[in-house]
Amino acid sequence: MLLVSLVLFLLVLSLPAIPSMFEVRKPKDDGRLHIMEQYVRDPRWFGRSFRHKLAPFVSEARGNSYGRAELRMRTDEEVRWSPDLEIPALERLRGIGVGERVVVGHGAGIRDAYALERLDVQDDVVARTLTSDATMHIGRAVQILRWIDADGDIEIDSDSDLGLSASGGARVTLGERVHFERVWGAPVASHTSHREPFELDRHKATILDTEAMGGRRSIVVYGPVHVKAGTNIPEHLKVHGPVSIEPGVTIGGNLISRGDVTLAEGVTIGGHIFAEGNIRLGPRSRVSRDGVAKTVYGTGKVLIANDVEVYGWVVSEDGGNTL
């Protein structure tokens, strides 16, 4: 009786392992996991939501050529309309200013500015949000408290702070020493004076080149990695440590690092860059291509040199800067 009980106990104990043993002998669930990438929050949600709330007022005001109203947003906001709206230099405007063409003068302050055509923000302005249905230009040392969004190109001059989010339907060009947290563009580009490649740390790093790839399309490496110039990795590189990459390297897929990522210059990444640390994008580096949105994400800082292009998101949890 004791023997029977022991056998039954061992049988019950082994039941959960039976499917695993069958899977090991004849794998049926070893394919890639397909992720439905269309379930992604709209990167331009702030701007589109703002336009939707103002749409009835804008439609009526355009017919009258001038308008003023009180709208309920998160709080009651005064909204004013003029086809050519100009906020004089050094003036502080409460509420929301809307126009076909909007100019915010030097040193002015405004809660929200919305242009149906061009929005021009001059130097030293402080604004809560900026929105344009066409192009947007932001001058030097402009401080954004929340977000900006434009359907067309956005140009940002030096020493500006883009707040929580900046998004554009076309090219978003960052000047020197621009601070950001999240930027979306097609592409996000940089135009700065930092044209020298980043210095690379090769100390105690595994050297990776075409020969070391040995014909593999993807590779996982434990510890620091240094990728030699001209190396081509057809798919993905995952590194359990920091990674430094010499000029002319191409990675067709994702670059994932458990540490810092440094691209010296002229490096091409076809997929995402995810780093548990800082990211430095050297001159003439490229991430993804036109029509294919990817993400550069660092838990630390993201530093961007001259002539960098990223199609999609650039996200820096600790705050990013152009150089």
**What's the token pair of residue 295?**
């993400």
- Together in a domain, 160 and 260: no
Count the residues in the chain.
323
Residue 184 lies in a domain: no
Q: Which single residue is written with the structure tokens 């990438």? A: 37
Give the chain's radius of gyration (CA, Å): 26
Integer Cα distance of 128 and 113 in angstroms: 8
- Together in a domain, 166 and 83: yes
Residue 296 lies in a domain: yes
Q: Which of 170, 195, 221 is the last residue of a domain?
A: 170
220 Cα distance to chain centroid: 25
CB neighbours of residue 200 within 10 Å:
19
H-helix or E-strand containing 67?
strand 67-72
- Together in a domain, 158 and 225: no
Our CA angle for 128, 133, 136, nearest 5°, is: 60
Residue 150 lies in a domain: yes
Query: Would you say 228 and 207 are in contact if contact means Cβ atoms under 8 Å apart?
Result: yes
CB neighbours of residue 242 within 10 Å:
21
In this prediction, residue 60 carries a pLDDT of 87
In this prediction, residue 36 carries a pLDDT of 61
- Together in a domain, 161 and 58: yes
In this prediction, residue 9 carries a pLDDT of 78
Residue 188 lies in a domain: no
**What's the token pair of residue 315?**
């996200």
Integer Cα distance of 248 and 264 in angstroms: 9
Query: Would you say 162 and 286 are in contact if contact means Cβ atoms under 8 Å apart?
Result: no
In this prediction, residue 33 carries a pLDDT of 57
pTM (predicted TM-score): 0.86
Query: Would you say 197 and 214 are in contact if contact means Cβ atoms under 8 Å apart?
Result: no
In this prediction, residue 273 carries a pLDDT of 98
Residue 312 lies in a domain: yes
Host domain of residue 98? 45-170
Residue 229 lies in a domain: yes
In this prediction, residue 34 carries a pLDDT of 62
Residue 31 lies in a domain: no
Integer Cα distance of 196 and 182 in angstroms: 25
Encode burial over 284-301: b for 16+ CB neighbours within 10 A, e otherwise. Answer: bbbbbeeeebbbbbbebb
Residue 147 lies in a domain: yes
Helix (H, G, I), strand (E, B) or coil at 68: strand
Q: Which single residue is written with the structure tokens 């906020």? A: 87
**What's the token pair of residue 104?**
């915010």
Reading the chain (323 residues) residue by residue, the pLDDT tens digits are 677 777 777 777 777 777 777 766 666 665 655 656 555 678 999 999 999 999 989 888 887 766 776 766 777 888 999 999 999 999 998 899 999 999 999 999 999 999 999 999 999 999 999 999 999 999 999 999 999 999 999 999 999 999 999 999 999 999 999 999 999 999 999 999 999 999 998 888 999 999 999 999 999 999 999 999 999 999 999 999 999 999 999 999 999 999 999 999 999 999 999 999 999 999 999 999 999 999 999 999 999 999 999 999 999 999 999 99
Q: Which of 126, 145, 170 is the last residue of a domain?
A: 170
Domains in the chain: how many in total? 2
